[in-house]
Structure 1
Amino acid sequence: MCLNKEYEQKHVHVNAIGNYIKPGQDIITTLFAGEAYTLMKQLEQCGHLKDNRLFQMLSTREVINTDPDKVRVTSMFLGAYERQAYKAGEIDLLPNHFSDVPKLLRDITTNPVVMAVVSPMDEKGYFSLGTNCDYIATLIPHAGAVVLEVNEHMPRTFGKNQIHISEVTAFIEHHQPIPEGPAILHQSEKDQIIGDHVAGLIKNGDVLQVGFGSIPNAIMDYVKHYRNLTIHTEMIPGKVIDLFESGAVTNEKNPFVKGKMTATFAYGSRQLYDFLHENEDVYMLPVNETNVGEKLHGLKDLVTVNAGVEVDFLGQVNAEKVADTYWSSTGGQADFQLAARVVEGGRGVICLYSTAKDDTISKIVPTLKPGTPITTSKNDVDYIVTEYGVARLRGKTIRERTRALINIAHPKFRDELTYQAKVMGHL
């Protein structure tokens, strides 16, 4: 069948989407900018659905409004709207390591309907998942149906995120700007100090995994003068453009695809999306390749930078829960912390401010409260960085860890932390 004819046959109106979903069938969509929100909203109109589950992750928009007996929403990493819905008991949260999501979804679903936003079809009949590859690309061969939103605003990227028209069950065209990450125009003094500390742990020729936020942006400002850096990460942040433009990045040490930046998804500004569009220096891979496996663990000089909410004297890191509110999930932090531990020359860095709520709460704590999730274990932790310095915990005893963490806590809490450490027998 010629491509144009197949395109016409599979191009449907959004109202027809319900025809491709059966009662009891699971539905999976991708994260951030690739989330098929127009298709998801149509689920609210599908009266025949019952006992269906929708799996989503890091949604940028309101949770769909459906009877949970019809469609139960399960998040795998809470975004702002999902956080509110989870707290209200309206959705579920599925614990996971990001690298394990493809296998996890294959294990707990059967013939799922896969939904995603893609770039327009090329002359060879391929759509691109654009900003994404993540877990969704791995599920296409196992799907009962593949239903897409074709959007001209989605950048076309290269890698293992291509979908041929022959693999597609149906699609709609819906051309609207894709979600953008909030602009980080201001870096606080704390961000800059922490960025400088972390940059001091990086050297020419390193492989970097750096995420999203004001601290990672500050770090990238401090390494623009470095040379022969390789970017292998799970998420491509906007500031990476500056590293390319400064000549800091060559990607020569990337064993996944030599000479290319590799990642599993991207999220940021329109400038980032334009940078990614048809950029042959970027190669997208599924998360069960980027975050785990022989190639990742075979890297040398890997520096991973992630964020924490709090850390205790043992070195246990909570990066998921703020007070009594479940804020996010594990994501890829544990994946990359493990990789940094096992590779030659690896350095795993967890960044956090020393305090919260106008310096009234210390984020260096004697012990995590009951019910607090441990994102990075004491055995995988390496460097902890606050605005007051760098604590190397790997290879340190409990007493040595306790002293090092107190030294990078806010000065107003150090006496109390020292007292608590003595009570606990750590000092």
Structure 2
Amino acid sequence: MNEALRRTRCSDPSAIVEHLGAHTDVIVPLANGEPDTVMTAVDAAGPDLEGVRVHQMHSLHDRPYLHGVYPGLRHVAYFLSEITRPAFHEGGLDFTPVHFSEMPHILSYVTRAPIIAAAASPPDRHGYFSLGTNADYVARFIGKAPFFLEANPHMPRTRGENTIHVSQVAGWVEADYPLAESPSPRVSEKDRIIGELIAERVPDGATIQVGIGSIPAAALSALGNHRDLGVHTELLSDAIAELFMAGVITGTGKTTRPGKMVTTFALGTRAFYDFIDDNAAAEFLPVDWVNDPRVIGRERAFVSINATVEVDVMGQANSEMIRGRMWSGSGGQADFAKGAMFSPHGMGFLALHSTTRDESVSRIKVRLGEGAVITTHKNTIDNVVTEYGVAELHGQPVSVRAERLIAIAHPKFRDELSAEARTLGYLR
């Protein structure tokens, strides 16, 4: 171990507390980028902290401070997870709406002299740590803010702009625990149909972005006979790795980073983490570049595939609220929808089941549900897909949009939707 590593190494994660003065902002990566032992130490110090805020997009670990138990330690979420969702609804934390692409800029604007607390791979012989499964918004702070790292041998060492030298580290500790895993979701028959409807429209040589969930997973599964696909996505997962190993993904036709699977974070199984370890084909880059619609639009035939909650006949999509309550956040959906719009021969797909699980409510609506927010704008939306077909909307008048969307609604709701749309003047 070189002298700089020895000097900055800490014996206990509570050493981060020395860096938490009054009104300090702590920035934490999302998902497995969160340093579990370090954040446990921050939480334990909660009763003694003053005005400290923790900024994070998607947390996987529950802690008392998330529920507002310490006046001097407050969490700010930029996307709600199953952990932070109930804490937000009970008033324990704050939620800030944001596009994923804007996170580095927003954090630079709302924080003062922040410290980054992040998980990392162990340092190499040159004193470099890798942020492993993450680049996201924290990679943009390398060289601009101090980092306190938790080096974990289970964290893969990945390639890209997510490495940090010990000279830029305020302190680091060692930890040894397995990463959180996210198995591939179970794909239903409806998902399979939707996935095939999308896949048959994706040309060979396209560059794809795929979101999380069973419908995007079904679309990836249906791409098995395609050739020379490229990847430029915010999330890298098992299903993408499987297409790469099958020879479907080569990236040879990409404009930016040809041959590389560009991403900003990864989440999957242990086997997947082993796949991205020291894999030169996977490139982890800051989210303000990966999710920038202008960068995305440079790719020819860029295809964005995401799920949504409900769509109205104007083409407005709510992808983050359920029954009028905040469920997740905007994430990068609008970033990629707009990027696909900028791409020559690009296509954007928003997919959903035509009804709720019990078939009692149509998810194609004349008006979005009460209190619903708009995640993807009517001017940006391209194709909407249900198990009943694909509605091509971009550039179409409201009357055509309404016709096409009602045609892919569940048959038992079509008459009702048509009558209501006529009352509002959307259909003639």
Distance 1:233 1:32 in 2: 16
Q: CA deviation at 1:224?
A: 1.2
- With over 3 angstroms needed to count, the CA separation of the structure-2 counterparts of 1:256 and 1:126, relative to structure 1, is farther
In the alignment, what sits opposite 1:4? 2
In the alignment, what sits opposite 2:153? 152
| Contact 1:102/1:135 (<8 A) preserved | yes
Residue by residue, what CA displacement relative to the aligned partner does 1:30-84 show, whole Å, maximum 9, x if unpaired? 0011112221121222243111111112111214435352111110111001011
Q: CA deviation at 1:377?
A: 0.4
Distance 2:363 2:295 in 1: 35
Aligned AA for 1:17? Answer: I
Matched, 1:28 2:30: no
Residue by residue, what CA displacement relative to the aligned partner does 1:1-46 show, whole Å, maximum 9, x if unpaired? xx62211211111222211111111111000111122211212222
In the alignment, what sits opposite 2:16? 17
In the alignment, what sits opposite 1:78? 80
Residue by residue, what CA displacement relative to the aligned partner does 1:193-227 show, whole Å, maximum 9, x if unpaired? 00000101101010000122211221111111111
In the alignment, what sits opposite 1:94? 96
Aligned AA for 2:94? Answer: D
Q: CA deviation at 1:299?
A: 1.3
Unaligned runs of 5+ in 2: none
Q: CA deviation at 1:293?
A: 5.5
Task: Trace 1:5-404 onto structure 2 (pairs within 5 A).
Answer: 5-12=3-10, 13-46=12-45, 47-65=47-65, 67-143=69-145, 145-184=146-185, 186-292=186-292, 294-404=294-404
| Contact 2:184/2:238 (<8 A) preserved | no
Q: CA deviation at 1:255?
A: 3.0
User: Helix, strand or coil for the counterpart of 2:209?
Assistant: strand
User: Aligned residue pairs: how many?
Assistant: 423
Residue by residue, what CA displacement relative to the aligned partner does 1:250-277 show, whole Å, maximum 9, x if unpaired? 1112333221111000001111101000
Aligned AA for 1:123? Answer: R
Q: CA deviation at 1:290?
A: 0.5
Residue by residue, what CA displacement relative to the aligned partner does 1:133-187 show, whole Å, maximum 9, x if unpaired? 01011023332x3111100000000000001011000011111101111442x31
| Contact 2:155/2:179 (<8 A) preserved | yes
- With over 3 angstroms needed to count, the CA separation of the structure-2 counterparts of 1:346 and 1:334, relative to structure 1, is same
User: Helix, strand or coil for the counterpart of 2:48?
Assistant: coil
More moved, 397-406 vs 210-219: 210-219
| Contact 2:295/2:339 (<8 A) preserved | no
Distance 1:294 1:56 in 2: 25
Distance 1:124 1:356 in 2: 54
- With over 3 angstroms needed to count, the CA separation of the structure-2 counterparts of 1:294 and 1:403, relative to structure 1, is closer
User: Helix, strand or coil for the counterpart of 2:142?
Assistant: helix
| Contact 1:313/1:365 (<8 A) preserved | yes
- With over 3 angstroms needed to count, the CA separation of the structure-2 counterparts of 1:63 and 1:416, relative to structure 1, is farther
| Contact 1:234/1:290 (<8 A) preserved | yes
| Contact 1:349/1:382 (<8 A) preserved | yes
What TM-score do the two structures reach when normalised by structure 1? Answer: 0.97
Distance 1:320 1:405 in 2: 20
| Contact 1:306/1:349 (<8 A) preserved | yes
Distance 1:68 1:329 in 2: 25
Unaligned runs of 5+ in 1: none
User: Helix, strand or coil for the counterpart of 1:78?
Assistant: coil
User: Helix, strand or coil for the counterpart of 1:414?
Assistant: helix
Q: Which runs of 4+ in 1 moved over 4 A?
A: none
| Contact 1:63/1:81 (<8 A) preserved | no
